[in-house]
Structure 1
């Protein structure tokens, strides 16, 4: 790189570091707001976050950002950059052009609203009061519709939102892979429902001390390699993970006395997100690509650790004894095999985060279809509860008895995260495809899990996925790691094989 370009890159890097600092400060304030900040200070905190977000927005859309990204996008300058540097410029330019179209005061107002909306959602869910949350959600949707007009419509209005979470993703592609998956999962669910072999689960019906749940959750995080010197675990209404930087990754969980399973698999799920964030290459820190490649790739890691490792028989043969130590009265007469069968029970249920592996994707399809209706067909916020309930009856044969167990169960819409939900099922697909390659390259995969030696698995994922951060696109990652584009058949194959064995289904059915 020529000397004058080196100097320009140093200045550009300084701007990126400043932007990264603002992002970290905002992330920390958001984490605090959701993990114990005093309620009476919530409105002021929301405005503070809005002020910082406004300043961040101005930096990202500044003339300075425009000049640097224009300079390094030119063929002569771009040719002097590394692959990682070119990706940084490409992503910054894309964000610059998209954000530049938004009036700064509208973006700041939206950020304040989103913080207030999340607080309102927490209270509405606790009180089963959709009416109190509805005005906030109406404003969130209105802002998103307004922003889509500024950004420009991609194929459909909803495609514009999908692209923000999974670059290049379209409703056409999602419809195709969801359709292929659904065509195999629906018959599987029907066969399981007809099976006379039902796992015994009554030992999970009692009460489980919350403090002991938390201790076991910490134990699980330690087992999968979560670095507590580079992160922490706290409690919140809805479990989440936030990566401030690879040296400060925070996760939360919730502990329900009558639901031991929820906290166990939330710990593994959020822990999977955290492992990704903690192992991003140091050379990317301070740049916009020091994060997961997409929400789908991110979810692939949380779902892989939660389900494909955490719900496996070798895992519980290794760790069930430890769980018994925390709950000797409830689990003394239970075997690891019985516990494994219980945590893999398939049944139509109301709550997405507690759904089994097979029906989980139906929960996602419901949300995906509703979001398409909101942005492509004009479905009103007022009608959401009725549409939600109707789709649950259609897809799962059950109707939520309350809004808290229905349309209010997820935090995502309160913060404006429309377009996100599809990434969960995409994550399942990515994970199954990656797992197929992982098993081939680590043939002693199950023996490693049974021995409690998860380090080789984590290191494989680190080498193949984590260190790259956002320096590659989702399609580049899945093709490099597995040798082919996204293929939903790997997930269907995995689920059919696993649940044929659990429910004693005939392979020829």
Structure 2
């Protein structure tokens, strides 16, 4: 009985989180532009209610009673573990701070959107300054790990430290820079000009919808919309919404943005029945969730085997541009590697340098209280250091990501962890099912879907990420798989030895 009451209590909290997610989704898609002030107050109210229920005496009492329950299942043990974790994190933070953060993030997101359109960092600066101050206060209250930034990383990657990430990222940076240096020697770099012709938006969305339905997106419990920055909202087990950012002069943006968010959505749509609509209905960690979006966007979506099936369909949608354009050339064009200004449009090699840049800047923001007015200059310095290019303006520089406007600090490392998990999981899948890529060439996704559902999706947060990757592949996280994947793929595309 105590465990039943604990589950009911946290399921109520989960429903409030779902309401918050719905309000956020509407704010970034269809909400009237003048509604932002009231919406920010609504979101702050919901966030306050969530926090109040989390830190209540009832939560404390139910958790204490759960210690006396015997004969617990694996799911029960995981539920109690996650409930305790949420309580221990929430109890450290005053309710007024959570409400302030929710309101500041809601106002900040709208201010960011306007500032990005107008290339006006000065207008966004007071919002970002306030958010940074609140997040530093948040980190101090959490007090997890050796630095303030570690406290924020813990929210997304439990048990992970910034020092551990720094060691992994430094080695990864060396490997990537070595690969980039060798790719420069290629005499056959891909030509991506075909991607920058005019592609009508309505045809793009129709093609994307056809792809998503074929690979498993269930439109009876999901929907696809447009937004400035692609995102996924898991409203409930029967309502998962994704968006993408379409550009009529750059075809990959909408397609690969949608595939990325599909990876998140298909994870959320396939938890085992016992954990749906509970606190276990989420990724094992945010890095694990990103592994599925990165896998579908890059390993599968940029794969030759994927376009062997889909390129004829794409040509039918855009015959004027593609009718006479060979598939091999198209495949090489979408996999061109070169430093770029925009993270979400980056290739899968330099993408990681974009994340390392943000990781290094976030450490300065949170640990060193770096001045907000100097951030554009720091951003440009890091871009030149890591990618060899300098943004021509702030819209293509520090204003390009939505994360900081929403108070999300400490999340960016999850993208690289996602790449590492994705390569290890996918290569393990090929070892067990060598025919997967050949099946995808024929438009058959059943074996791939079964492998991911049986090994990743169904478990949600039952296992911690370090335990789940070992359960799936037989070993702990190993970045060598990702580097091997990159070397094998791009040595063929560029005809150079990597």
TM-score tier after normalising by the smaller chain length: over 0.9
Q: Tell me by how many angstroms 1:506 deviates.
A: 2.5
Does structure 1 residue 50 correspond to structure 2 residue 41? no
Range with greater deviation from structure 2 (415-424 or 83-92): 83-92
- 1:471-506 Cα shifts (integer Å, max 9, x gaps): 111101111001111111110010011101111103
2:493 matched to which residue of 1?
502
1:4 matched to which residue of 2?
none
Q: Tell me by how many angstroms 1:211 deviates.
A: 0.5
Conservation of the 8 A alpha-carbon contact between 1:361 and 1:425: yes
Q: Aligned equivalents of 1:506 and 1:117: distance in 2? A: 47
1:485 matched to which residue of 2?
476
Partner residue of 2:17 out of 8, 17, 23: 23
Does structure 1 residue 403 correspond to structure 2 residue 397? no
Conservation of the 8 A alpha-carbon contact between 1:246 and 1:278: yes
Partner residue of 1:170 out of 161, 170, 173: 161
Q: Aligned equivalents of 2:31 and 2:208: distance in 1? A: 23
Gaps of 5+ in 1: 1-6
| TM-score normalised over the length of structure 1 | 0.96
Q: Aligned equivalents of 1:80 and 1:204: distance in 2? A: 58
Conservation of the 8 A alpha-carbon contact between 2:259 and 2:293: yes
Partner residue of 1:201 out of 192, 213, 222: 192
Q: Aligned equivalents of 2:277 and 2:266: distance in 1? A: 19
Conservation of the 8 A alpha-carbon contact between 2:232 and 2:264: yes
| TM-score normalised over the length of structure 2 | 0.98
Q: Tell me by how many angstroms 1:363 deviates.
A: 0.5
Does structure 1 residue 455 correspond to structure 2 residue 446? yes
Q: Which runs of 4+ in 1 moved over 6 A?
A: none
Q: Aligned equivalents of 1:258 and 1:269: distance in 2? A: 20
Q: Tell me by how many angstroms 1:45 deviates.
A: 1.1
Taking the TM superposition and a 5 Å limit, the aligned residue runs for 1:350-389 are 350-389=341-380
2:28 matched to which residue of 1?
34
Q: Aligned equivalents of 1:286 and 1:242: distance in 2? A: 14
Q: Tell me by how many angstroms 1:269 deviates.
A: 0.6
Q: Aligned equivalents of 2:173 and 2:430: distance in 1? A: 25
Does structure 1 residue 274 correspond to structure 2 residue 250? no
Conservation of the 8 A alpha-carbon contact between 1:317 and 1:337: no
1:325 matched to which residue of 2?
316
Q: What SS does structure 2 have at the residue aligned with 1:232?
A: strand
Q: Aligned equivalents of 1:10 and 1:355: distance in 2? A: 47
Q: What SS does structure 2 have at the residue aligned with 1:229?
A: coil
Q: Aligned equivalents of 1:39 and 1:400: distance in 2? A: 29
Conservation of the 8 A alpha-carbon contact between 2:153 and 2:161: yes
Q: Aligned equivalents of 2:308 and 2:456: distance in 1? A: 28
Q: Aligned equivalents of 1:9 and 1:317: distance in 2? A: 51
Q: Tell me by how many angstroms 1:202 deviates.
A: 2.3
Q: What SS does structure 1 have at the residue aligned with 2:154?
A: helix
- 1:211-260 Cα shifts (integer Å, max 9, x gaps): 11111111121121111111000111101011112211100011111111
- 1:85-111 Cα shifts (integer Å, max 9, x gaps): 122112111221221122212211211
1:60 matched to which residue of 2?
54
Partner residue of 1:9 out of 3, 18, 24: 3
Q: Tell me by how many angstroms 1:428 deviates.
A: 0.3
- 1:240-291 Cα shifts (integer Å, max 9, x gaps): 0111122111000111111111111111111111100000112112321111
Q: Tell me by how many angstroms 1:377 deviates.
A: 2.3
| Count of aligned pairs between the two proteins | 498
Taking the TM superposition and a 5 Å limit, the aligned residue runs for 1:62-81 are 62-72=56-66, 74=67, 76-77=68-69, 79-81=70-72
Range with greater deviation from structure 2 (15-24 or 408-417): 15-24
- 1:297-327 Cα shifts (integer Å, max 9, x gaps): 0110001111111111111111101111111
Q: Tell me by how many angstroms 1:431 deviates.
A: 0.4
Does structure 1 residue 265 correspond to structure 2 residue 256? yes
Partner residue of 1:139 out of 114, 130, 135: 130
Q: What SS does structure 1 have at the residue aligned with 2:184?
A: helix
Conservation of the 8 A alpha-carbon contact between 1:245 and 1:278: no
Taking the TM superposition and a 5 Å limit, the aligned residue runs for 1:247-258 are 247-258=238-249
- 1:154-203 Cα shifts (integer Å, max 9, x gaps): 11111111111111111121112112212211111011122111112222
Q: Aligned equivalents of 1:285 and 1:225: distance in 2? A: 18
Q: Aligned equivalents of 1:84 and 1:380: distance in 2? A: 45
1:393 matched to which residue of 2?
384
Q: What SS does structure 1 have at the residue aligned with 2:235?
A: strand
Q: Aligned equivalents of 1:253 and 1:287: distance in 2? A: 27
- 1:72-129 Cα shifts (integer Å, max 9, x gaps): 1x3x43x432121122112111221221122212211211111010010000001000
Conservation of the 8 A alpha-carbon contact between 1:46 and 1:112: yes
Partner residue of 1:238 out of 216, 229, 244: 229
Q: Aligned equivalents of 2:259 and 2:86: distance in 1? A: 32
Q: Aligned equivalents of 1:337 and 1:471: distance in 2? A: 42
Q: Tell me by how many angstroms 1:205 deviates.
A: 2.5
2:301 matched to which residue of 1?
310
Conservation of the 8 A alpha-carbon contact between 1:208 and 1:260: yes
Partner residue of 2:292 out of 295, 298, 301: 301
Conservation of the 8 A alpha-carbon contact between 1:317 and 1:450: yes
Q: Aligned equivalents of 2:97 and 2:409: distance in 1? A: 18
